[in-house]
Amino acid sequence: EVVMTQSPLSLPVTLGQEASISCRCSQSPVYSDGNTYLHWFHQRPGQSPRRLIYKVSNRDSGVPDRFSGSGSGTDFTLKISRVEAEDVGIYYCMQTIHWPGTFGQGTKVEIK
């Protein structure tokens, strides 16, 4: 099973400041079609997860442009350029190439 390691696990941030979350995969999520199947999800307290970013860097519809994804190989990053109050919650990375698809442990973002 592919292990997804996120850091940090807890991230207190000041409103308006940048937040950065790292995700490392034990095996590359690159497929033979050349795409990298690494996605990011956000789960607000008491809600179901919502996908923010797919295939490393593509924002889903309705996701603010302050969210960006980057990375290659086995190391990936989610950045929130100017954190807003609605961004609190837990962020998960996930790979969907190797069965079973696996999630990171989650990074809890809270406002200082």
Partner 1 sequence: EVQLVESGGGLVQPGGSLRLSCAASGFTFTGFWMSWVRQAPGKGLEWVANIKEDGSHKNYVDSVKGRFTISRDNAKNSVYLQMNSLRGEDTAVYYCAKGAGFDSWGQGTLVTVSS
38 lies in the site for partner 1, by CB under 8 A: no
Using CB under 8 A, which of 17, 26, 50, 75 touches partner 1? Answer: 50
Q: Which of 22, 14, 21 is nearest to 83 (CA)?
A: 14
Rounded CA gap, 49 and 38, in Å? 15
Task: Closer to partner 1 by CB, 53 or 83: give it.
Answer: 53
Nearer to partner 1 (CB atom), residue 51 or residue 66: 51
Q: Which is nearer to partner 1, 68 or 97 (CB)?
A: 97
State how far the Cα of 112 lies from the Cα of 6, in Å rounded to an integer: 21
The encoded tokens of residue 42 equal: 């956000």
Q: How far apart are CA 12 and CA 48, in angstroms?
A: 22
Residue 74 lies near partner 1 (rule: CB under 8 A): no
φ, ψ (nearest 5 deg) of residue 86? -75, -5
Q: How far is the CB of 54 from partner 1 (least distance, A)?
A: 5
Closest CB to partner 1 among 74 and 102?
102
Say whether residue 27 binds partner 1 (CB under 8 A). Answer: no
- Other C-beta atoms closer than 10 Å to the C-beta of 79 total 13
In the complex, the residues that contact partner 1 under the rule CB under 8 A are 37, 39, 41, 48-51, 54-55, 60, 92, 94, 96, 99-106
